[in-house]
Amino acid sequence: MLASGLGGQVNLLTDYIVVGFVINPVAVTSFSLTQRLITVLGGFITFSTNATWAGLSEVLATGERSVFEARVLELLRLLIGGGLLVVATLAAYNARFVTLWVGREYYAGDLLTALTAMQVLIVSFLLLFTWTIDAQGDTRYRVTVATVGAALNLGLSVVFARWLGMWGVTLGTVVGYLAADAWYSPYLFSRRYGVSLRAIARETARAVALGLPWAGIIWFVAHARTAPAGWLAFAMQFGIACSLSGIYCWVVILTRADRGAWP
């Protein structure tokens, strides 16, 4: 647990250090401010994922593997599909938010915004599996891959920062996750708890495929006006976008069985 926890902290908390060391300390401000809206509000997806381990562990303890698999796939649809809508909406309005908040000169670019949204979604995805694995006392089976992933994350962040600049730091983090925890944790989860890996891949791909059209639409709508409006206009537009994303999730992402169970 200690080793895997240290690896997780390296993944999440070293980006600022890399930016300050490789680029310059002043750049940390723009890096942090550009990520703030997505990491704070998008972080609620991660918090929601952290709350699933107790329920999943309880269902797993009953031995009803079909029920357990059904609940895992339902959570995937909600956290990945719904989470994609949330982070896509936050990313679409991030430039206007930062401009109104501190000024356009502190916005570090759309690539950093998009990669930050991707990072939040990937972390939420893998935590769905790692929290249950850890709760079952099986951390030892993933600690090697998690440690290698943390080292890869740090190394790639440094290399990409020197090569690509500020957004390369987050690119290194995303690639580090994808190369290690993001694929190994679902694999280990499937092997140890009897959930079909094919079903996990299918529901994940379905949620992403159904969420991407919304991401494209809301990005286009949010960037249709180049001049930022005032706070009131921004709040109204952002609130409408969030409400519509909730409707989109209910109608498009969730299945008929999900919609029947939720009320």
pLDDT recorded at residue 12:
60
Low pLDDT (below 70) residues in the chain: 1-13, 47, 225-228
Chain centroid offset of residue 28 CA? 21
Q: How far is CA 60 from CA 31, 57, 142, 152, 192, in A?
A: 41, 5, 19, 33, 11
Structure letter (DSSP) for residue 254? S
Residue 125 burial class via C-beta count within 10 angstroms: exposed 0-12, middle 13-18, buried 19 and up: buried
* pLDDT given for residue 8 in this prediction: 53
* Residue 10, pLDDT score: 55
pTM for the model: 0.91
Cα 231 to Cα 183: distance, rounded to the nearest angstrom: 41
Residue 216 has a pLDDT of 95
Alpha carbons within 13 angstroms on the beta-carbon side of residue 45 total 30
